[in-house]
Amino acid sequence: MEMLNDEEIYERYRFDRGGIIFITNLIEDDIESPTERNHAIPPILQVFVALRFYACGSFQQVIADTIRIHQSTACRIIHRVTNALIRRINQFVRFPTGNEVNAVKAGFYDVAHFPNVLGLVDGSHVRIMAPHRNEPDYVNRKKYHSINAQIICNDENMITNVVANWPGSTHDSRILRESEIGRQFARQEHRGVLIGDSGYSSKNWLMIPYLNPANDPQRRYNRALKRTRCIVECTIGIWKRRFHCLHDELRLHPIKCCRIIAATAILHNIAKQRNLPDFEDEIDNEDQPDPVQPEDDHDDNLTRDRLVQQYFQ
């Protein structure tokens, strides 16, 4: 930090000096060596190594050469910092509860007058190197290997839930259905709804667009849903621009890739909490809705129809 100015630090590590010190203090106990033998690398330098990898997505050898350490050391540091961050996931990636619920609903309602929304859900594919085991499972519909990460965000671009343990061939709708947050909504543990795209199945707690709107209220519903859903697309864009490793190919074992995806979601929220500016470099959004799934049952469609009649007539 003594060699670089503020702008250079932020450009290379995606956090300012205060943010880097905050992250170091947060995980210092987990990454500090219990001894100074063999020239143990201090926690703040370990954080620099990991942040540089998340920021640029380069080969670990390139990161190691930049910091002047061995590649194997850089590898161990990146995974040590990643695992330390994941241990704090419940502290920084939290679905709204209690008094937060009404504030989130009000924030979403202000966007396009869509009522009772607790979060926006979407899938985002992160490229990975072809794994040695179960390789076909990781080939997504665009024919590259990936992890399909499920993201739920609030109205302020904060990630409130992340599921990053499914191979790229898995449909968005299945990930949500089998996730803990999906089961919680199915058990009616949350007083509100999620919004998804046309790749999801209709649920009484998941609002999706009408594929062929038949009247003006349905068209107004679709427009309000689309305007509101733009927030999750924006959130994923901000997340991937800050951490370019999510856009480039992660050349690691799939389990390690999943952990890095989760760790960067935590760091994204830390950056938003600290009001750090977003990055503007261009990244094409390759995440398009999965092929449409058949809608589950008539009752779920009736829930959507009632919402249209009550709010969009």
**Same domain assignment for residues 307 and 222:** yes
pLDDT confidence bin for 281, thresholds 50/70/90:
low
Q: Is the domain of 111 the same as that of 245?
A: yes
Q: Is the pTM of this model over 0.85?
A: yes
Same domain for 98 and 42: no
Are residues 36 and 177 part of one domain? no
With CA atoms as reference, report the closest residue to 288 among 199, 224, 202. Answer: 199
In a domain, 198, yes or no: yes
Asked whether residue 34 falls in the same domain as residue 177, the answer is: no
Would you give the distance in Å from CA 210 to the centre of its chain? 26
For residues 186-212, average pLDDT: 94
Q: Are 39 and 69 found together in one domain?
A: yes
Looking at the fold, whether 16 and 53 belong to one and the same domain comes out as: yes
SS (H, E, C) 262-282: HHHHHHHHHHHHCCCCCCCCC
- Where does a domain end: 87, 106, 133? 87
pLDDT (tens digit per residue) in 10-61: 999 999 999 999 999 999 999 987 766 566 889 999 999 999 999 987 666 5
**Does one domain contain both 294 and 193?**
yes
Whether 144 and 127 share a structural domain = yes
In a domain, 68, yes or no: yes
pLDDT at 198 over 80: yes
Statement to judge: residues 53 and 115 lie in one domain: no
Q: How far is CA 252 from CA 146, 278, 300, in A?
A: 11, 27, 41
Of 87, 115, 132, the last residue of a domain is: 87
Q: Which domain holds residue 57?
A: 6-87
pLDDT at 282 over 60: no
Residue 304 lies in a domain: yes
In a domain, 1, yes or no: no
For 98-137, the pLDDT digits (tens) are: 999 999 999 999 999 999 999 999 999 999 999 999 999 9
Q: Are residues 198 and 163 located together in one domain of the fold?
A: yes
Number of domains in the chain: 2
Q: Does 267 fall in a domain?
A: yes
Specify the pLDDT at position 41: 87
Domain boundary, last residue among 26, 55, 87: 87
The sheet carrying 117-127 orders its strands as 159-163, 146-153, 117-127, 193-195, 206-207
- Regarding whether 58 and 115 lie in a shared domain, the answer is no
Residue 5 has pLDDT above 80, yes or no: yes
